[in-house]
Structure 1
């Protein structure tokens, strides 16, 4: 079957969430506004996540997986998803399901006119410390990137696959996906989406990852922006 959208689901030690992930994503496939597939990227999980993923994919024909030999981090998992996607559009959602799969349909409404559409988490259901550190980190990032995005950490995005494949990923760059589309002279948009508390498993990132890490990544982004190569072919021979 040909798919218009492939949704990447990075997984790291999420065995407590995967049954709910299967149910909610399989329910979404029934109402998706375009033909859609699911791609699990197992980022070297040490629990039973891989066994559960294989069982899910065996009984769900539109679910697929790739599995890393070792844990490489979220940016690597997203890049692997980009690399293995063949559909016109590629989406991304976290396996903690703090965002709702059905909100992909809200993003798809704008995917023809924009090369990246990202969610903005309305009424976030996180702790005060997590919300505050995220707000500060987003403010710092906006000052560096000028991308105008309020919530690049929102784990609900749709990108044109050809643009996604041209992103030169490095660790931490998942926070800069809108800015990397702008470097390609693409168009970006943010759309309010639902947000829910985590109901199972544990968050994988602490204060360092949410605040100090992104600050350091901003300097890496500025270096990449200065060195970034972007070109358009005017014509070529047959």
Structure 2
């Protein structure tokens, strides 16, 4: 039986968070046909052994492994290529994205008027991170929006729901997971932001620093802006987005024809 939904979890050295995360996803999607695919991105903490044990007990769970860390975008891409489910959900492997938010994203993606909605982008309403990280992300998002005009205030949120066919339309580059709203708009898909909750990190540690994000982000941002300007729609595109609560999310971001 083919699943309707594949939940892809890119994970590197998150062995302590994964068992609970897999269980929570199962509870959130108990009434749906779904699979969970963990992409172990070169972990050295015993993640592979834990995933093998979990998969032996859970028929919904599968996993892939990169022998070396290739990054979150590459891990997501490998997962999307490996599944044939038409709807993809992603969330971070650290457990900070609550799986009970997934149904709200799916409801908006599957709405009767959502045929051209390619991506539902989670936006953390109360981000549970350090002050320096919140400030750094806020500045980065303002700069990004000034250049890309995608109207999304939190494109770095790992909680996303999107159509596999829409994802496969996108040009691929490293760190594209941070620019998916702008790239979806570039290809003519609609993007809907939905407010989601966020949790404190309980285990492990972040793989990024503010400086590290900034150094790679500048190059990626300029590249994304160049791609948008080279798109068939070009600068004639009109992009507007609104942030709404999950239960009332009816606004969409749409490329003007």
Deviations 1:125-176 (A, max 9, x none): 1110000000011111111111100100111000111011122221121100
Report Cα offsets for 1:161-195 as digits up to 9, x if no partner: 10111222211211000111101100001111111
1:141–1:215: 8 Å Cα contact kept in structure 2? no
| Partner residue of 1:65 out of 55, 63, 66 | 63
Given that residues 6 and 89 in structure 2 are in contact (C-alpha distance below 8 angstroms), is that contact kept between their aligned partners in structure 1?
Answer: yes
Match of 2:246 in 1: none
Q: Is the 8 A contact 1:117 1:189 kept in 2?
A: yes
Question: Which residues of structure 2 form unaligned runs of 5+?
Answer: 234-257
1:235 alignment partner in structure 2:
none
Cα distance between partner residues in 2 of 1:209 and 1:4: 36
1:106 aligned residue: 104
Match of 1:201, SS state, is coil
Gaps of 5+ in 1: 231-238
Matched, 1:139 2:142: yes
Distance across 1 between alignment mates of 2:181 and 2:19: 31
Q: Is the 8 A contact 1:136 1:211 kept in 2?
A: no
Could you state the TM-score of these two structures normalised by the residue count of structure 2? 0.84
C-alpha separation between the residues in 2 aligned to 1:213 and 1:220?
A: 11
Correspondence list, 1:148-227, <5 A: 148-227=151-230
What is the RMSD computed on CA atoms of the aligned residues?
1.5
Query: TM-score, normalised on structure 1?
Result: 0.91
Matching of residues 67-82 of structure 1 within 5 Å: 67-82=65-80
